[in-house]
Structure 1
């Protein structure tokens, strides 16, 4: 099932929830994903970022906790008091220091347990923090729980719980991430009003050693990452009611075929897309 997921907060236990990034994950029906986490620019009072489904701008709330019981019956977390802070997301061309983490690959999950939770794993084939190397494949795993906090806005939420190195200390630490899913919407009026999904992949026989990449376009969002040796790059595009598609963020000197994935009407499964000497393969194509 295709999804657009936004992270609402991360919590490094036993600390309070916080969020200092714009984190958006696009996942295709074939479970290929691109996860991009851009630091919000320090500032004050409101974080205005393009909503994942395009169009209006969304506010990102910073959160603090006071250690009260969780609203979810089987998961403990801190009670939140929400303070909106003004942190404008950088636009267009960014520097590598603006990127918290960006990666892409394949995901899988177990069948739901009795409490509705499931075990999930994400295999990173491209990672901003890890050079491409067959002996250093990155796999992260976690348990994902359905989440209900009493506020029904019609969107599905999930609480992810796992362990990974803390970015400040390097010590492997328990964490929680709260995610909300946004239903993909068509990027332009269509008779069926279905969102389009395109996945391009670079690697294997199509790429030189150490060259891997993935682009996922889903509804009104398109984003991709690519690594060639020590070089890494990413792009994010968004479709808006006024103006159509625009490139929202770009990092690095490498080029990605996001525009081709968005605009090329002649794509077909197994077809090739060449971008600056790199040949990408169309892995998925359809409507969701």
Structure 2
């Protein structure tokens, strides 16, 4: 499958009205590995607060609604009444800000294509505000990946990179995914959790970290350095070793 960049436009917990309290971005690689980060928006304004020059730009954990990573899959399901088939998607969690043990944690939803490159997702999951299993709707919009940085801007090749960390001795798991102009990464070490989101801001500004939560080192910046990465390579920092498990152009 082609790598994708998805932005959530709203969530609706039935029968309530639709709203979007977060900045939610999902990056999915060619081999269906994803990082999904949902940051509560600033109290005033619609954007996640970005750092000005010289700022570290670390947000408090209270700004984190949810962040997780894993693998996704889709299948075509045919209803027993012979009606129209539905695309059913499954997201298996491998690391999650809400749970240390994520074995068996799976999200599922039915996907309905809409106009303008949008997709309506429906299903049931626990509403974090109530703690109850609730039917929901989410509207997603796909963004067009672009060629940036050291990608071949002349022929329009877009980069896709995935780095992964698994260190069972230290209870550490992490995933970084880059698709085109965005990079996102999450890392759990025991009970500690950190994340980062980066975006390419053009040739003059280059790559910019939009947000960070937590104080663990997450190699999102490394994922932008095309020249030093190849599948099977490693990125070492302290006692941890991140492995490059995907690196391709599309």
Identify which of 111, 132, 144 aligns with 1:183: 144
Q: Deviations over 1:2-47 (max 9, x none)?
A: 100000000001111100100000000100000000000112xxxx
Identify which of 55, 59, 62 aligns with 1:94: 59
* Residue in 1 that maps onto 2:29: 28
Query: For the residues of structure 2 that align with 1:263 and 1:279, how far apart are their CA atoms?
Result: 17
The answer to whether the 8 A contact 1:213-1:224 is kept is: yes
TM-score by length of 1: 0.78
| C-alpha distance 127-254 of structure 1, shift in aligned 2 (>3 A) | same
Q: What is the CA distance between 1:240 and its match in structure 2?
A: 0.8
TM-score by length of 2: 0.89
The answer to whether the 8 A contact 1:116-1:145 is kept is: no
The answer to whether the 8 A contact 2:195-2:212 is kept is: yes
Identify which of 142, 152, 161 aligns with 2:109: 142
Residues 1:281 and 2:243 aligned together: yes
Q: Deviations over 1:135-187 (max 9, x none)?
A: x4311111111123xxxxxx411111111111111010000000000111011
Query: For the residues of structure 1 that align with 2:72 and 2:47, how far apart are their CA atoms?
Result: 31
Could you list the runs of 5+ residues in structure 1 that have no partner in the other structure?
44-85, 149-154
Could you list the runs of 5+ residues in structure 2 that have no partner in the other structure?
51-56
Query: For the residues of structure 1 that align with 2:141 and 2:43, how far apart are their CA atoms?
Result: 24
Query: For the residues of structure 2 that align with 1:116 and 1:274, how far apart are their CA atoms?
Result: 46
Q: What is the CA distance between 1:208 and its match in structure 2?
A: 2.8
Q: SS state of the match for residue 98, structure 2?
A: coil
Query: For the residues of structure 1 that align with 2:48 and 2:89, how far apart are their CA atoms?
Result: 30
* RMSD over equivalenced CA pairs, Å: 1.6
Q: What is the CA distance between 1:207 and its match in structure 2?
A: 4.8
Q: What is the CA distance between 1:264 and its match in structure 2?
A: 4.8
